[in-house]
């Protein structure tokens, strides 16, 4: 299994990247440092995670120590939904670049893609993706969404496959550390039994399922041991007969976007936000 997927831009996205959502300041820098040293080449960030400054310091240290060069890394950040108006885009991009101490995000894209200023589309609200395509001048390369064995996104998976968009999975372990939702992905008996059969951990099985689906994964961890464990998903695979069992797992969307659903929002109900897919 290759350690990357090729995007419709020709760029390569690593199959495993480090998630930084809910990684606290004070520990996120060490996690990024340990991950890159362990072989990670993709770090998934966002200004909204309130930790990009510390991620930037860790990246600077890695560059100064010669562990990697900037061009070896794929760095994702997010234009948050409060900065989608074209006139707000440069300010948000500059803030993220300053915090991360980088000249560009992505892989080797120009610092400011002129098309970006016209992207009013909200790529991460992806149940709307089919409609967004025709509203933008550039097709999306990556659609980053919640995806794990407990929320498999088969409809979106098929759409992405047929349109050449790469699906990248956030919360690929079902965010077991989140206190505001009841995640059972790593406790799912089907996953536990497959992990036992293969001599792997439930987390590794969950990650490997996504990779075999053709999706990159962005597991978050601040533990060096688990960071390494989550990268150990290349030299083994889930055989077809066990892969078939994943279709029996109950499907529940964990991240329901509560923060964006309210009477003043354009999305007044969860059904509206997710086109009924909840």
Q: Which residues are annotated as a binding site?
A: 107
What is the Cα–Cα distance from 241 to 277, expressed in whole angstroms? 28
* Among positions 221, 233, 255, 274, the unique one binding ligand A2P when judged by CB under 6 A: 221
What is the Cα–Cα distance from 188 to 231, expressed in whole angstroms? 21
When the beta carbons of 58 and 119 are compared against ligand A2P, the nearer one is 58
* Among positions 5, 7, 15, 19, the unique one binding ligand A2P when judged by CB under 6 A: 19
CB-based contacts of 21, cutoff 8 Å, min separation 6: 44, 46, 49, 170, 220
Q: Considering only CA atoms, which of 98, 88, 117, 6 is closest in space to residue 57?
A: 98
Q: Considering only CA atoms, which of 177, 236, 221 is closest in space to residue 17?
A: 221
When the beta carbons of 151 and 159 are compared against ligand A2P, the nearer one is 151
Decide if 165 contacts 140 (C-beta within 8 A): yes
Q: Does 173 bind ligand A2P (CB under 6 A)?
A: yes
Annotated binding residues for substrate, written as ranges, equal 107
Give me the least distance between CB of 58 and ligand A2P, in Å please: 15
Helices (H), 184-276: 189-198, 202-212, 224-231, 240-243, 270-273
* Among positions 15, 144, 216, 229, the unique one binding ligand A2P when judged by CB under 6 A: 229
Question: Is 49 part of the annotated catalytic residue set?
Answer: yes
- 33, 40, 49, 123: the active-site residue: 49
Q: Does 184 bind ligand A2P (CB under 6 A)?
A: no
Q: Does 34 bind ligand A2P (CB under 6 A)?
A: no
Q: Does 46 bind ligand A2P (CB under 6 A)?
A: no
3-state secondary structure of 276: coil
DSSP annotation of 144 reads E
**Parallel/antiparallel/unpaired status of strands 12-14 and 4-6:** antiparallel
Give me the least distance between CB of 6 and ligand A2P, in Å please: 24
> Which residues of this chain interact with ligand A2P, rule CB under 6 A?
19, 171-177, 186, 201, 203, 219-223, 226, 229-230
Catalytically active residues, by annotation: 49
């Amino acid at each position: 299994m290759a350690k990357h997927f090729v995007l419709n831009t020709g760029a390569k996205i690593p199959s495993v990247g480090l998630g930084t959502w809910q990684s606290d300041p004070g520990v996120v820098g060490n996690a990024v440092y340990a991950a890159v040293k362990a072989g990670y080449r993709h770090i998934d960030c966002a200004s909204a995670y309130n930790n990009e400054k510390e991620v930037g310091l860790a990246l600077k240290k890695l560059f100064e120590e010669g562990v990697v060069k900037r061009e070896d890394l794929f760095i994702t950040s997010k234009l948050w939904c409060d900065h989608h108006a074209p006139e707000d885009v440069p300010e948000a991009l500059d803030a993220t670049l300053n915090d991360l101490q980088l000249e560009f995000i992505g892989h080797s894209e120009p610092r400011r893609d002129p098309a970006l200023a016209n992207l009013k589309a909200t790529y991460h609200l992806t149940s709307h993706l089919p409609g967004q395509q025709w509203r933008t001048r550039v097709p999306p390369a990556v659609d980053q969404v919640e995806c794990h064995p407990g929320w498999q996104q088969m409809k979106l998976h098929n759409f992405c496959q047929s349109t050449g968009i790469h699906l990248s999975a956030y919360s690929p372990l079902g965010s077991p550390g989140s206190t505001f939702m009841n995640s059972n992905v790593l406790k799912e008996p089907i996953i536990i039994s497959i992990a036992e059969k293969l001599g792997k951990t439930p987390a590794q099985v969950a990650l490997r399922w996504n990779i075999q689906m053709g999706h990159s994964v962005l597991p978050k961890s601040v533990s060096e041991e688990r960071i390494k464990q989550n990268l150990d998903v290349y030299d083994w695979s889930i055989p077809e007969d066990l892969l078939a069992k994943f279709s029996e797992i109950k499907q529940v969307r964990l991240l329901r976007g509560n923060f964006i659903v309210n009477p003043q929002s354009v999305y007044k109900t969860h059904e509206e936000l997710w086109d009924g897919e909840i």
